[in-house]
């Protein structure tokens, strides 16, 4: 199935996510969405997205969303301190998984964010996380 219109390949996240992706981003004004098509290699024995892949997606979704929402944080590496995920519904093979994230608060040393993930428009995961305010990101990252 095709990638939804407006989404472009995301070049960020290092070798791990490049191997397990590809991920896509749509950035139009204040709207930032991340997504990917669930492929056979992403699934569990029941043919649904593996929980570990959902966790990896959420661990990218939240800090990358923050990069687009706060110019002061745009080039900072945000290592994960804590990540909570509520799995709401299965994400079947072939579905388009799409997520949005929201910066809740940034302090001098930490960032708090939350997000929602849908599978073909149906809510399938809710995530929240705490991230350390780290060093400048390497130049190969393409977020703002």
pLDDT in the model for residue 83? 98
**Residues 6+ positions from 82 with CB-CB distance below 8 Å:** 129, 130
Residue 140, phi then psi, degrees to nearest 5 = -70, -15
Closest CA to 86 of 108, 54, 61: 54
Residue 116 pairs with which residues in a beta bridge? 100, 126
pLDDT in the model for residue 144? 55
Task: Tell me the pLDDT tens digit for each residue of 40-69.
Answer: 999 999 999 999 999 999 999 999 999 999
Q: Residues of the chain whose pLDDT is less than 70? A: 139-144
Mean pLDDT across the chain: 92
pLDDT in the model for residue 118? 98
CA 85/CA 122 separation, integer angstroms:
16
């Amino acid at each position: 199935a095709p990638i939804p219109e407006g989404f472009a390949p995301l070049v960020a996240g290092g070798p791990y996510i490049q191997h397990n992706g590809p991920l896509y981003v749509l950035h139009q004004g204040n709207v930032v969405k991340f997504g990917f098509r669930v492929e056979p290699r992403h699934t569990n024995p029941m043919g649904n997205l593996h929980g570990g892949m959902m966790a990896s997606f959420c661990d990218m979704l939240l800090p990358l969303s923050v990069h687009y929402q706060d110019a002061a944080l745009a080039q900072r590496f945000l290592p994960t301190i804590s990540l909570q995920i509520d799995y709401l519904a299965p994400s079947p093979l072939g579905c388009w998984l799409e997520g949005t994230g929201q910066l809740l608060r940034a302090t001098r040393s930490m960032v708090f964010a939350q997000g929602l993930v849908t599978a073909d428009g149906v809510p399938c995961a809710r995530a929240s996380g705490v991230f350390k305010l780290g060093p400048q990101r390497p130049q190969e990252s393409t977020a703002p």
